[in-house]
Amino acid sequence: MNQHPTTEQILGFLDQRPDDTGLARHIESCAECAALVGEFRRIDAAGRRLPVLTSPSGITGRVMARVLSPEADSLSYRLLKGLGYLIPMSIVLLVLGMVFSKTGVIDPGGGNGAGDRIQEVMTAVGVLSGSVSEAIIGLLRSYAPFMANNEAAGIILAIIVTLSGCLFLDRVLAGRFGTKMR
Amino acid sequence: MNESEIIARVRAGDARAYTLLVDRCRDRAFTLAVRLLGNREEAEEVVQDAFVNAYRSLDRFREEARFSTWLHRIVYNLCMTRVARRRARARPLDEGRPEEQRPDTQDTGVDLHAETETAELVRIVEEEILGLSEKLKTPLLLFYMEEMKYEEIAETIGIPVGTVKTYLFRGRMLLRERLNIRLKEEVAIP
Protein backbone atom coordinates (compact mmCIF):
# COMPACT_ATOMS: atom_id res chain seq x y z
CA MET A 1 0.00 0.00 0.00
CA ASN A 2 1.64 3.24 -1.16
CA GLN A 3 -1.10 5.72 -0.34
CA HIS A 4 -2.28 6.53 3.15
CA PRO A 5 -5.42 4.62 4.07
CA THR A 6 -8.61 6.56 4.73
CA THR A 7 -9.67 7.16 8.32
CA GLU A 8 -12.58 4.79 7.72
CA GLN A 9 -10.14 2.07 6.74
CA ILE A 10 -8.10 2.75 9.85
CA LEU A 11 -11.18 2.48 12.05
CA GLY A 12 -12.09 -0.75 10.28
CA PHE A 13 -8.60 -2.00 11.03
CA LEU A 14 -9.05 -1.12 14.70
CA ASP A 15 -12.39 -2.92 14.77
CA GLN A 16 -10.69 -6.01 13.36
CA ARG A 17 -12.57 -6.10 10.11
CA PRO A 18 -10.86 -8.30 7.51
CA ASP A 19 -7.69 -6.66 6.32
CA ASP A 20 -6.54 -7.80 2.90
CA THR A 21 -4.96 -4.55 1.82
CA GLY A 22 -1.69 -4.62 3.58
CA LEU A 23 -3.00 -2.02 5.98
CA ALA A 24 -1.20 -3.44 8.98
CA ARG A 25 2.12 -3.31 7.15
CA HIS A 26 1.50 0.28 6.07
CA ILE A 27 0.62 1.40 9.59
CA GLU A 28 3.76 -0.19 10.95
CA SER A 29 5.91 1.72 8.51
CA CYS A 30 4.04 5.06 8.41
CA ALA A 31 4.47 7.36 11.41
CA GLU A 32 1.53 9.54 10.40
CA CYS A 33 -0.93 6.67 10.19
CA ALA A 34 0.49 5.05 13.31
CA ALA A 35 -0.15 8.29 15.18
CA LEU A 36 -3.75 8.36 13.97
CA VAL A 37 -4.21 4.75 15.01
CA GLY A 38 -2.75 5.61 18.40
CA GLU A 39 -5.23 8.45 18.85
CA PHE A 40 -8.24 6.33 18.03
CA ARG A 41 -6.96 3.49 20.21
CA ARG A 42 -6.78 5.87 23.13
CA ILE A 43 -10.27 7.19 22.49
CA ASP A 44 -11.66 3.67 22.11
CA ALA A 45 -9.93 2.52 25.29
CA ALA A 46 -11.41 5.46 27.20
CA GLY A 47 -14.84 4.74 25.69
CA ARG A 48 -14.68 1.13 26.83
CA ARG A 49 -13.91 2.29 30.36
CA LEU A 50 -17.05 4.37 30.72
CA PRO A 51 -18.39 3.60 34.20
CA VAL A 52 -21.36 1.29 34.62
CA LEU A 53 -23.89 2.85 36.97
CA THR A 54 -25.42 0.95 39.85
CA SER A 55 -29.16 0.57 39.44
CA PRO A 56 -31.46 1.38 42.39
CA SER A 57 -31.42 -1.44 44.92
CA GLY A 58 -35.12 -2.26 44.84
CA ILE A 59 -35.43 -2.57 41.10
CA THR A 60 -35.33 -6.37 40.98
CA GLY A 61 -38.05 -6.62 43.62
CA ARG A 62 -40.28 -4.18 41.78
CA VAL A 63 -39.79 -5.95 38.48
CA MET A 64 -40.51 -9.33 40.05
CA ALA A 65 -43.62 -7.99 41.81
CA ARG A 66 -44.98 -6.94 38.41
CA VAL A 67 -43.91 -10.19 36.80
CA LEU A 68 -45.44 -12.36 39.51
CA SER A 69 -48.70 -10.36 39.72
CA PRO A 70 -49.50 -9.38 36.17
CA GLU A 71 -52.86 -7.99 37.21
CA ALA A 72 -50.97 -5.23 39.03
CA ASP A 73 -50.29 -3.59 35.68
CA SER A 74 -53.87 -3.62 34.47
CA LEU A 75 -55.91 -0.41 34.31
CA SER A 76 -58.67 -1.86 36.48
CA TYR A 77 -56.13 -2.68 39.18
CA ARG A 78 -54.77 0.85 39.02
CA LEU A 79 -58.26 2.30 39.21
CA LEU A 80 -58.98 0.19 42.27
CA LYS A 81 -55.76 1.36 43.84
CA GLY A 82 -56.71 4.92 42.93
CA LEU A 83 -60.07 4.48 44.62
CA GLY A 84 -58.27 3.05 47.62
CA TYR A 85 -56.33 6.27 47.70
CA LEU A 86 -59.37 8.51 47.31
CA ILE A 87 -61.54 6.85 49.95
CA PRO A 88 -59.27 7.83 52.88
CA MET A 89 -59.06 11.33 51.43
CA SER A 90 -62.85 11.51 51.31
CA ILE A 91 -63.05 10.35 54.92
CA VAL A 92 -60.57 13.06 55.92
CA LEU A 93 -62.69 15.55 54.00
CA LEU A 94 -65.85 14.46 55.78
CA VAL A 95 -64.24 14.51 59.22
CA LEU A 96 -62.84 17.99 58.56
CA GLY A 97 -66.27 19.18 57.52
CA MET A 98 -67.84 17.70 60.62
CA VAL A 99 -65.17 19.24 62.87
CA PHE A 100 -65.68 22.63 61.30
CA SER A 101 -69.41 22.25 61.66
CA LYS A 102 -69.30 21.13 65.32
CA THR A 103 -66.84 23.82 66.34
CA GLY A 104 -68.95 26.50 64.77
CA VAL A 105 -66.38 27.49 62.17
CA ILE A 106 -69.01 26.85 59.55
CA ASP A 107 -72.37 28.50 59.60
CA PRO A 108 -74.77 25.78 58.51
CA GLY A 109 -77.31 28.43 57.50
CA GLY A 110 -76.85 27.74 53.84
CA GLY A 111 -76.09 29.93 50.86
CA ASN A 112 -73.77 29.68 47.90
CA GLY A 113 -70.78 31.81 48.96
CA ALA A 114 -68.42 28.94 49.74
CA GLY A 115 -69.33 27.05 46.61
CA ASP A 116 -68.54 30.06 44.47
CA ARG A 117 -65.29 30.53 46.35
CA ILE A 118 -64.30 26.92 45.75
CA GLN A 119 -64.87 27.36 42.05
CA GLU A 120 -62.78 30.53 42.01
CA VAL A 121 -59.93 28.78 43.79
CA MET A 122 -60.05 25.80 41.49
CA THR A 123 -60.07 27.97 38.43
CA ALA A 124 -57.24 30.08 39.83
CA VAL A 125 -55.14 27.00 40.53
CA GLY A 126 -55.80 26.01 36.97
CA VAL A 127 -55.71 22.31 37.73
CA LEU A 128 -59.27 21.41 36.97
CA SER A 129 -61.48 22.68 34.21
CA GLY A 130 -64.58 24.66 35.11
CA SER A 131 -66.96 21.83 34.32
CA VAL A 132 -65.04 19.33 36.47
CA SER A 133 -64.83 21.74 39.39
CA GLU A 134 -68.58 22.39 39.10
CA ALA A 135 -69.24 18.68 39.26
CA ILE A 136 -67.08 18.32 42.37
CA ILE A 137 -68.74 21.31 44.03
CA GLY A 138 -72.14 19.83 43.31
CA LEU A 139 -70.99 16.56 44.88
CA LEU A 140 -69.66 18.35 47.94
CA ARG A 141 -72.88 20.33 48.36
CA SER A 142 -74.94 17.20 48.17
CA TYR A 143 -73.33 15.51 51.16
CA ALA A 144 -71.86 18.40 53.09
CA PRO A 145 -74.46 21.15 53.44
CA PHE A 146 -72.67 22.35 56.56
CA MET A 147 -69.88 23.81 54.47
CA ALA A 148 -72.17 25.92 52.43
CA ASN A 149 -71.39 29.40 53.66
CA ASN A 150 -67.84 29.48 54.98
CA GLU A 151 -65.08 30.67 52.72
CA ALA A 152 -62.09 29.42 54.74
CA ALA A 153 -63.48 25.91 55.06
CA GLY A 154 -64.46 25.96 51.43
CA ILE A 155 -60.94 26.88 50.36
CA ILE A 156 -59.38 24.16 52.53
CA LEU A 157 -61.79 21.57 51.21
CA ALA A 158 -61.23 22.72 47.64
CA ILE A 159 -57.48 22.37 48.05
CA ILE A 160 -57.82 18.88 49.52
CA VAL A 161 -60.19 17.76 46.78
CA THR A 162 -57.99 19.26 44.09
CA LEU A 163 -54.81 17.66 45.44
CA SER A 164 -56.38 14.25 45.92
CA GLY A 165 -57.92 14.41 42.45
CA CYS A 166 -54.59 15.34 40.94
CA LEU A 167 -52.76 12.60 42.78
CA PHE A 168 -55.36 10.11 41.65
CA LEU A 169 -55.14 11.18 38.02
CA ASP A 170 -51.38 11.32 38.15
CA ARG A 171 -51.09 7.85 39.60
CA VAL A 172 -53.60 6.31 37.22
CA LEU A 173 -52.57 8.09 34.04
CA ALA A 174 -48.85 7.77 34.61
CA GLY A 175 -49.26 4.11 35.48
CA ARG A 176 -47.13 4.58 38.55
CA PHE A 177 -48.83 2.07 40.75
CA GLY A 178 -47.00 -0.63 38.93
CA THR A 179 -43.64 0.95 39.46
CA LYS A 180 -43.59 3.23 42.44
CA MET A 181 -46.15 2.14 44.94
CA ARG A 182 -44.78 -1.23 45.75
CA MET B 1 -26.37 -21.37 35.44
CA ASN B 2 -25.96 -19.84 32.00
CA GLU B 3 -28.38 -17.52 30.23
CA SER B 4 -30.03 -20.23 28.11
CA GLU B 5 -30.67 -22.39 31.16
CA ILE B 6 -32.27 -19.52 33.03
CA ILE B 7 -34.49 -18.70 30.06
CA ALA B 8 -35.48 -22.35 29.73
CA ARG B 9 -36.46 -22.43 33.41
CA VAL B 10 -38.53 -19.26 33.07
CA ARG B 11 -40.23 -20.62 29.97
CA ALA B 12 -40.98 -23.82 31.86
CA GLY B 13 -42.94 -21.79 34.40
CA ASP B 14 -40.34 -20.91 37.01
CA ALA B 15 -40.97 -17.17 36.97
CA ARG B 16 -38.71 -16.61 39.97
CA ALA B 17 -35.70 -17.69 37.92
CA TYR B 18 -36.18 -14.45 36.03
CA THR B 19 -34.65 -12.71 39.06
CA LEU B 20 -31.27 -14.08 37.97
CA LEU B 21 -31.59 -12.44 34.56
CA VAL B 22 -32.75 -9.15 36.07
CA ASP B 23 -29.84 -9.10 38.50
CA ARG B 24 -27.34 -9.85 35.74
CA CYS B 25 -28.58 -7.22 33.30
CA ARG B 26 -30.07 -4.44 35.38
CA ASP B 27 -26.97 -2.25 35.91
CA ARG B 28 -26.03 -2.12 32.25
CA ALA B 29 -29.63 -1.59 31.17
CA PHE B 30 -29.93 1.19 33.74
CA THR B 31 -26.67 2.78 32.60
CA LEU B 32 -27.81 2.75 28.99
CA ALA B 33 -31.16 4.29 29.92
CA VAL B 34 -29.58 7.00 32.08
CA ARG B 35 -27.19 7.93 29.28
CA LEU B 36 -29.96 8.01 26.69
CA LEU B 37 -32.43 9.91 28.87
CA GLY B 38 -30.14 11.89 31.17
CA ASN B 39 -32.51 11.24 34.07
CA ARG B 40 -32.22 8.49 36.70
CA GLU B 41 -35.90 8.37 37.70
CA GLU B 42 -37.10 8.03 34.14
CA ALA B 43 -34.34 5.52 33.49
CA GLU B 44 -35.52 3.39 36.41
CA GLU B 45 -39.08 3.37 35.10
CA VAL B 46 -37.85 2.47 31.62
CA VAL B 47 -35.70 -0.38 32.93
CA GLN B 48 -38.57 -1.81 34.96
CA ASP B 49 -40.90 -1.61 31.97
CA ALA B 50 -38.25 -3.16 29.74
CA PHE B 51 -37.78 -6.15 32.04
CA VAL B 52 -41.53 -6.67 32.38
CA ASN B 53 -42.01 -6.38 28.59
CA ALA B 54 -39.13 -8.78 28.00
CA TYR B 55 -40.63 -11.28 30.42
CA ARG B 56 -44.01 -11.13 28.72
CA SER B 57 -42.42 -11.53 25.29
CA LEU B 58 -39.92 -14.17 26.27
CA ASP B 59 -41.58 -16.73 24.02
CA ARG B 60 -40.70 -14.54 21.06
CA PHE B 61 -37.02 -14.33 22.02
CA ARG B 62 -35.24 -16.64 19.59
CA GLU B 63 -31.88 -16.71 21.40
CA GLU B 64 -30.05 -15.82 18.20
CA ALA B 65 -28.62 -12.90 20.13
CA ARG B 66 -27.73 -12.46 23.78
CA PHE B 67 -30.60 -11.70 26.13
CA SER B 68 -28.90 -8.40 27.03
CA THR B 69 -28.84 -7.37 23.35
CA TRP B 70 -32.54 -8.06 23.09
CA LEU B 71 -33.23 -6.28 26.38
CA HIS B 72 -31.20 -3.26 25.31
CA ARG B 73 -33.27 -3.02 22.18
CA ILE B 74 -36.39 -2.80 24.35
CA VAL B 75 -34.70 -0.23 26.60
CA TYR B 76 -33.63 1.74 23.54
CA ASN B 77 -37.15 1.74 22.07
CA LEU B 78 -38.71 2.84 25.36
CA CYS B 79 -36.13 5.59 25.73
CA MET B 80 -36.68 6.81 22.19
CA THR B 81 -40.43 6.97 22.80
CA ARG B 82 -39.78 9.24 25.78
CA VAL B 83 -37.22 11.31 23.87
CA ALA B 84 -39.71 11.76 21.02
CA ARG B 85 -42.34 12.93 23.52
CA ARG B 86 -39.88 15.42 24.96
CA ARG B 87 -39.00 16.68 21.50
CA ALA B 88 -42.66 17.12 20.64
CA ARG B 89 -43.04 19.25 23.77
CA ALA B 90 -39.91 21.34 23.21
CA ARG B 91 -39.37 21.25 19.47
CA PRO B 92 -38.12 24.82 18.98
CA LEU B 93 -35.35 24.30 21.56
CA ASP B 94 -34.14 21.05 20.09
CA GLU B 95 -33.44 22.20 16.58
CA GLY B 96 -30.02 22.81 15.11
CA ARG B 97 -27.85 20.24 16.84
CA PRO B 98 -24.38 21.69 16.73
CA GLU B 99 -22.06 18.77 16.08
CA GLU B 100 -22.19 18.88 12.30
CA GLN B 101 -21.43 22.60 12.33
CA ARG B 102 -18.39 22.36 14.52
CA PRO B 103 -15.24 23.80 12.95
CA ASP B 104 -13.07 21.36 11.13
CA THR B 105 -10.02 20.81 13.25
CA GLN B 106 -8.02 18.22 11.39
CA ASP B 107 -4.83 18.93 13.22
CA THR B 108 -1.86 16.91 14.30
CA GLY B 109 -3.81 15.44 17.23
CA VAL B 110 -0.69 15.78 19.30
CA ASP B 111 -2.61 16.37 22.53
CA LEU B 112 -4.20 12.97 22.43
CA HIS B 113 -0.73 11.53 22.69
CA ALA B 114 0.11 13.66 25.67
CA GLU B 115 0.12 12.21 29.16
CA THR B 116 -3.47 13.06 29.96
CA GLU B 117 -4.64 11.05 32.94
CA THR B 118 -6.72 8.09 31.79
CA ALA B 119 -9.52 8.78 34.26
CA GLU B 120 -9.71 12.35 33.05
CA LEU B 121 -9.80 11.20 29.45
CA VAL B 122 -12.62 8.78 30.27
CA ARG B 123 -14.57 11.61 31.88
CA ILE B 124 -14.07 13.88 28.87
CA VAL B 125 -14.96 11.09 26.43
CA GLU B 126 -18.16 10.42 28.38
CA GLU B 127 -19.13 14.09 28.36
CA GLU B 128 -18.48 14.37 24.66
CA ILE B 129 -20.41 11.20 23.82
CA LEU B 130 -23.38 12.42 25.83
CA GLY B 131 -23.23 15.70 23.93
CA LEU B 132 -23.70 13.99 20.57
CA SER B 133 -27.05 13.68 18.82
CA GLU B 134 -29.13 10.57 19.52
CA LYS B 135 -28.26 8.90 16.24
CA LEU B 136 -24.51 9.11 16.89
CA LYS B 137 -24.62 8.69 20.66
CA THR B 138 -26.54 5.42 20.81
CA PRO B 139 -24.29 3.36 18.49
CA LEU B 140 -21.21 4.66 20.31
CA LEU B 141 -22.65 3.77 23.72
CA LEU B 142 -23.53 0.26 22.56
CA PHE B 143 -20.16 -0.12 20.83
CA TYR B 144 -18.14 0.98 23.84
CA MET B 145 -20.23 0.03 26.87
CA GLU B 146 -21.65 -3.24 25.61
CA GLU B 147 -18.80 -4.02 23.24
CA MET B 148 -21.41 -4.90 20.67
CA LYS B 149 -20.48 -5.82 17.13
CA TYR B 150 -21.85 -3.77 14.24
CA GLU B 151 -24.49 -6.42 13.57
CA GLU B 152 -25.66 -6.41 17.20
CA ILE B 153 -25.90 -2.63 17.22
CA ALA B 154 -27.88 -2.75 13.98
CA GLU B 155 -30.21 -5.33 15.53
CA THR B 156 -30.60 -3.31 18.72
CA ILE B 157 -31.37 0.00 17.07
CA GLY B 158 -33.16 -1.43 14.07
CA ILE B 159 -31.03 0.17 11.37
CA PRO B 160 -28.86 -1.34 8.59
CA VAL B 161 -25.31 -2.45 9.41
CA GLY B 162 -23.93 0.03 6.86
CA THR B 163 -25.65 2.87 8.69
CA VAL B 164 -24.15 1.69 11.96
CA LYS B 165 -20.69 1.82 10.40
CA THR B 166 -21.35 5.32 9.12
CA TYR B 167 -22.63 6.55 12.48
CA LEU B 168 -19.72 4.97 14.34
CA PHE B 169 -17.27 6.51 11.91
CA ARG B 170 -18.82 9.96 12.20
CA GLY B 171 -19.16 9.65 15.97
CA ARG B 172 -15.53 8.69 16.49
CA MET B 173 -14.32 11.40 14.12
CA LEU B 174 -16.32 13.98 16.07
CA LEU B 175 -15.00 12.63 19.35
CA ARG B 176 -11.45 12.96 18.11
CA GLU B 177 -12.02 16.51 16.91
CA ARG B 178 -13.68 17.58 20.12
CA LEU B 179 -11.12 15.89 22.33
CA ASN B 180 -8.33 17.63 20.49
CA ILE B 181 -10.06 20.96 20.99
CA ARG B 182 -10.73 20.34 24.67
CA LEU B 183 -7.34 19.00 25.49
CA LYS B 184 -5.72 21.97 23.75
CA GLU B 185 -7.95 24.36 25.67
CA GLU B 186 -7.00 22.72 28.94
CA VAL B 187 -3.31 22.85 28.11
CA ALA B 188 -3.68 26.53 27.18
CA ILE B 189 -5.13 27.39 30.59
CA PRO B 190 -2.24 28.86 32.64
Higher local confidence (pLDDT), A160 or B82:
B82
Q: Per-residue DSSP letters for A80-141?
A: HHHHHHHHHHHHHHHHHHHHHHHTTSS-TT--SHHHHHHHHHHHHHTSS-HHHHHHHHHHHH
Look at residue B34 and tell me whether its pLDDT is greater than 80.
Answer: yes
Higher local confidence (pLDDT), A164 or A179:
A164
> What is the predicted pLDDT for the residue at A119?
55
Residue B111 near chain A (CB below 8 Å): no
Look at residue B120 and tell me whether its pLDDT is greater than 80.
Answer: yes
Please, what is the average pLDDT of chain B? 83
B167 contact residues in A (CB cutoff 8 A): none
pLDDT digit string, tens, across residues B69-90 = 899 999 999 999 998 888 887 6
Lowest average pLDDT, out of A47-61, A101-115, B34-48, B49-63, goes to A101-115
A60 contact residues in B (CB cutoff 8 A): 19, 22-23, 26
Contact A63 B22 (CB under 8 A): yes
Look at residue A177 and tell me whether its pLDDT is greater than 70.
Answer: no
> What is the predicted pLDDT for the residue at B173?
92
* Per-residue pLDDT band at B182 (split at 50, 70, 90): confident
Higher local confidence (pLDDT), A90 or B1:
B1
Please name which of B159, B164, B124 lies closest in space to residue B143, comparing C-alpha atoms.
B164
pTM above 0.90?
Answer: no
> What is the predicted pLDDT for the residue at B53?
93
Look at residue B26 and tell me whether its pLDDT is greater than 50.
Answer: yes
Look at residue A35 and tell me whether its pLDDT is greater than 80.
Answer: yes
Residue B34 near chain A (CB below 8 Å): yes
- Angstroms from B44 CA to nearest CA on chain A: 8
On the 0-12 / 13-18 / 19+ scale of CB atoms within 10 A, A34 is middle
- Angstroms from A68 CA to nearest CA on chain B: 7
> What is the predicted pLDDT for the residue at A122?
52
> What is the mean pLDDT of the segment spanning A13-34?
78
> What is the mean pLDDT of the segment spanning A14-32?
77
Considering CB atoms only, which of A35, A43, A60 is closest to B175? A43
The crossing angle, in degrees rounded to 10, of helices B134-145 and B67-89 is: 160
* Per-residue pLDDT band at B109 (split at 50, 70, 90): very low
pLDDT digit string, tens, across residues A128-141 = 445 555 566 666 66
Please name which of A13, A27, A11, A21 lies closest in space to residue B170, comparing C-alpha atoms.
A11
- Angstroms from B122 CA to nearest CA on chain A: 5
In this prediction, what percent of chain A has a pLDDT beyond 70? 39
> What is the predicted pLDDT for the residue at B101?
41
Are B11 and B21 within 8 A, CB to CB? Answer: no
Asked whether the ipTM of the predicted complex exceeds the cut of 0.90, the reply is: no
Look at residue A45 and tell me whether its pLDDT is greater than 80.
Answer: yes
A66 contact residues in B (CB cutoff 8 A): 48, 52
Please name which of B136, B133, B141 lies closest in space to residue B34, comparing C-alpha atoms.
B141
Are B135 and B142 within 8 A, CB to CB? Answer: no
Look at residue B50 and tell me whether its pLDDT is greater than 80.
Answer: yes
> What is the predicted pLDDT for the residue at A18?
59
Look at residue A72 and tell me whether its pLDDT is greater than 70.
Answer: no
The C-alpha atoms of residue A86 and residue B30 are separated, in whole angstroms, by: 33
Higher local confidence (pLDDT), A95 or B108:
A95
Q: How far is CA B85 from CA A127, B20, B81, in A?
A: 22, 33, 6
Look at residue A164 and tell me whether its pLDDT is greater than 60.
Answer: yes
The C-alpha atoms of residue B3 and residue B69 are separated, in whole angstroms, by: 12
> What is the predicted pLDDT for the residue at B19?
94
Number of Cβ within a 10 Å radius of residue B163: 15
Residues of A with CB under 8 A from a CB of B: 7-8, 11, 15, 35-36, 38-40, 42-56, 59-60, 62-64, 66-68, 70, 73, 178-179
Please, what is the average pLDDT of chain A? 68
> What is the predicted pLDDT for the residue at A179?
39
Considering CB atoms only, which of B15, B48, B109 is closest to A35? B109
> What is the mean pLDDT of the segment spanning A66-91?
70
Look at residue A8 and tell me whether its pLDDT is greater than 60.
Answer: yes
